[in-house]
Chains A and B, each alone.
Chain A
Amino acid sequence: MEKILEVKDLEVSFQTYGGSVKAVRGVSFDLHKGETLAIVGESGSGKSVTSQTIMKLIPMPPGKITGGQILFNGDDIVPKTEKQMEKIRGKEISMIFQDPMTSLNPTMKIGTQIMEGLIKHQNMSKQAAKTRAVELLNLVGIPMPERRVNQYPHEFSGGMRQRAMIAIALAANPKLLIADEPTTALDVTIQAQILDLMKDLQSKMDTSIIFITHDLGVVANVADRVAVMYAGQIVEMGTVDEIFYDPRHPYTWGLLASMPSLDNDNKADLAAIPGTPPDLTNPPKGDAFAARNQYALAIDFEEEPPMYQISETHFAKTWLLHPDAPKVEPPEAVKKRMRQLSSTFDQAVLMKEGK
């Protein structure tokens, strides 16, 4: 499959009064055409910063890309100027934000907000853009689009605004869509509708999607692959099956154990991960998760673990995969669903630095 995006060793930091916050610390992943990658992780783990950096939307300054590459269709985005980025944003890569209540301009008609991108990227006339805006509203399932184009955001419900946001994002047929928690602010039934809509549109337009969420339940429905982020790093990455049925990283275990499910509605079983993420101004020596990890080994406080490869598609960054590491049992809630996957290597393979 064709690779549309390759992120290599990306590092982003923010200059603040308290020092420099290392929000993204060496993130690497890639994305194929038509594929959906979910990025999950706690609040503050760097999901939004990672994804916004792909469009260079983080405020610079205080933000700065301190290392790495972002290859979009083989072309590095990092050195590009604002003017060059304007041709990529909205046309090649689009973004949907978390809160549909605040991400639309309250004093501009919905139609105009959709038309802007069309006029900019597809050189459409006002009239043509308006016709297309009506089509797009129809496409995202907004009834009476001819009337709705002329309305303002406050006349839309939350779910409809998010549909309008999707229309804006898809207006210029982008090849990559980044959805940063697009359903978190919506209630459950609307969430499901929006997810269905996104999947439906993806299959029609063959868009690749990066889907950010901290709800693992959503992930199973939308994603092909999952990247688990912790403290600015990807600590485990694999296909949905690999992450759900054969997780290797204790942080992933923690996330899975704290996920509500039908057969697990007993509150006591929902173990939240204890403690808080580390301060990214001074990331700890060793593994960033060690202090919160009940399985932590002595080496975890000394040296950062390398990435191990468990299958063609499955990677985890934990010392537990070291051949000499003691065998540990994941928590009960996770163990219940563990199964042997056929693709798994016999032995975890240590990956060379900077693969």
Chain B
Amino acid sequence: MAKYIGKRLLYMLISLWLIITATFFFMRIAPGNPFTSEKQLPPEIEANLNAHYGLDKPWYAQYGDYLLKVVKWDFGPSFKYKSQTVNDLISEGFPVSFILGMEAILLAVAFGLILGIIAALKHNKWQDYTAMIIAVAGISVPSFIMATFLQYFLAIKMGIFPVARFETFMHTILPALALASTPMAFIARLTRSSMLEVMSNDYIKTAKAKGLSQGVITVKHAIRNALLPVVTYMGPLTAGILTGSFVIERIFGIPGLGAHFVTSITNRDYTVIMGVTVFYSIILLASILLVDIAYGIIDPRIKLAGGKKGE
């Protein structure tokens, strides 16, 4: 196991290096620079600024500098907000985004599983149809429309929740719901079809032939096997929630990392774009690793390659 994780960490480092390199060069190819604005700056000032941020050095020197700094967990200063470093922005924004994201993932997984399992157990009954109507709605409505919809009805019309900002727990509910709706619907459909598939398997008949009750069969034999495709989906789900949060954070005025990311792109704030990209990549790679480990735990047939044979 330790060997497997070590190997995976090494691959993660390589992917990360590729991502850093790619973002670095894309940034350079992109036209314009952070100091491009309507007003032409006097050449001396621009030269000064470039010198200050090291933009006058040859590209390989800049690339080398950057790599070195990233290794030391220093993403450099923000070009736009003079007083803040990228590290500041991340440590400020990420906790907010993290809470939002975790809440959304929890909602999506919990309700997705419940809906999917009920739908499968009540196959072709009204419970099934209801769950699937909810799922189709969740999949077809994009999260930003869901967000405005929730804001309008639950916050503005009915006044149950605050419209925007991110201060108390109540503030977190609407954005988390908006963010969770699509993945929840996805998980519900996935769970349903996976449960139906599992329930038609021979080993379910074996379990029934042993005299186990429907409840025990569902909990002990069906759900665990039905969970496998859902676990596989957790990697893309995390990615979806992270990227989805860019828009949701904007709509609800939440000072998270996503909001910073969007602003930094419009501002051509190189260091912020790169820093946040690298940071997101780390989180994604880590979540994919976690998913793979979880998969190996749930399904004994999967040997985590490089690990010791399960005794």
Partner of B203, one of A85, A103, A152: A103
Asked whether A249 is an interface residue with its Cβ less than 8 Å from the other chain, the reply is no
Docked complex: A17-35 residues within 8 A CB-CB of B: none
* Interface contact A120-B209, CB-CB below 8 Å: no
Q: Residue on A with the closest CB to B228?
A: A107
Residues in chain B near residue A272, CB distance under 8 A: none
A90 to B216 alpha-carbon distance, docked (Å): 15
* Interface contact B300-A107, CB-CB below 8 Å: yes
Asked whether B214 is an interface residue with its Cβ less than 8 Å from the other chain, the reply is yes
Contact A102:B203 (CB < 8 A) given known A107-B224, A107-B299, A107-B300: yes
Interface flags, A69-112, vs B, CB<8A=1, else 0: 00000000000001101111111001101010011111110000
A-B contact pairs, 19 of them (CB 8 A): A57-B209, A82-B214, A83-B213, A86-B211, A86-B212, A88-B211, A94-B210, A106-B299, A107-B224, A107-B301, A108-B221, A116-B207, A116-B210, A150-B311, A152-B300, A152-B301, A165-B206, A168-B210, A169-B209
Docked complex: B198-212 residues within 8 A CB-CB of A: 201-203, 205-212
Q: Between A and B, how many residue pairs show CB distances below 8 Å?
A: 78
Tell me the minimal C-beta distance from B200 to chain A in angstroms.
Answer: 9
How many residues of A are counted as interface, with CB atoms below 8 angstroms from the partner's CB atoms? 33
Chain A interface, >50% SS class: mixed
Interface flags, A103-143, vs B, CB<8A=1, else 0: 11111100001001100110000000000000000000000
8 nearest interchain CB pairs?
A90-B211, A89-B211, A90-B210, A103-B202, A102-B202, A152-B300, A105-B203, A95-B209
Asked whether B220 is an interface residue with its Cβ less than 8 Å from the other chain, the reply is yes
A102 to B202 alpha-carbon distance, docked (Å): 6
* Interface contact B211-A120, CB-CB below 8 Å: yes
Docked complex: B289-311 residues within 8 A CB-CB of A: 298-301, 311
Q: In this complex, which of B205, B210, B298, B299 has the most chain A Cβ atoms within 10 angstroms of its Cβ? A: B210
Partner of B209, one of A83, A90, A152: A90
Asked whether B277 is an interface residue with its Cβ less than 8 Å from the other chain, the reply is no
Chain B interface, >50% SS class: helix
Partner of B206, one of A82, A85, A154, A168: A168
Asked whether B225 is an interface residue with its Cβ less than 8 Å from the other chain, the reply is yes
* Interface contact A154-B300, CB-CB below 8 Å: yes
Residues in chain A near residue B203, CB distance under 8 A: 102-106
